Amino acid sequence: MTLASRALAQLATWPDLTRAVPSCGLGRAVSSAQGEIAHFHSDRDVDLRLTDRAIRRFAKDLKHSGAIRIVPGSQWVTLRLDAASDVDLLLTLVSVALQAQQSWPDPADRPPVAGCNDQRGKGFVKADLGAF
């Protein structure tokens, strides 16, 4: 079992999340009542929608993690799952993302964008996730 499939299986058990087809059309996703949260694009790469407010709040910490890539102008961050600790980080950040989506709207937040970072030419290799 890959790290991504293990993370997806764990997230699918959370009561606030459901498996979904990603809006970008590639891989697998999980969504909350407020919209998409994470897209699993390969057995190692996950895009996570944190919202503008959450990214601003945690930017310094996120930039210091070698597992996270921030794309300027995006409400999504990309996580590279190379170790079990990266899955733990993903699960923590999904919790942050759920809280960010449910909190009072930030006037600086832009409306949710349908495209995740995979649609922004990040250069990671896309993979068929039929085994998920």
Instruction: Encode pLDDT of 81-114 as tens digits.
Output: 999 999 999 999 999 999 887 775 555 555 555 5
Q: Is residue 111 part of a domain?
A: no
Looking at the structure of the chain, the number of domains it has is 1
Provide mean pLDDT across the span 3-22: 93
For residue 29, being part of any structural domain is answered with yes
Whole-angstrom Cα distance, residue 111 to residue 85? Answer: 31
Q: Does residue 117 fall inside a structural domain?
A: no
What residues make up the domain containing 39?
A: 3-105
What is the amino acid identity at position 111? P
Output the pLDDT for position 25: 80
Residue 125 lies in a domain: no
The answer as to whether 121 is a domain residue is no
Residue 123 forms part of a structural domain: no
Q: Characterise 48 by phi-psi region: left (phi > 0), alpha (psi -120 to 50), beta (else).
A: beta
pLDDT tens-digit readout, 41-75: 888 999 999 888 888 888 888 888 888 988 888 88
16 CB-contact burial (10 Å; exposed 0-12 / middle 13-18 / buried 19+): middle
Residue 113 lies in a domain: no
130 within a domain of the structure (yes/no): no
Is residue 79 within 8 Å of 46, Cβ to Cβ?
A: yes
CATH code, domain with 63: 3.90.1150
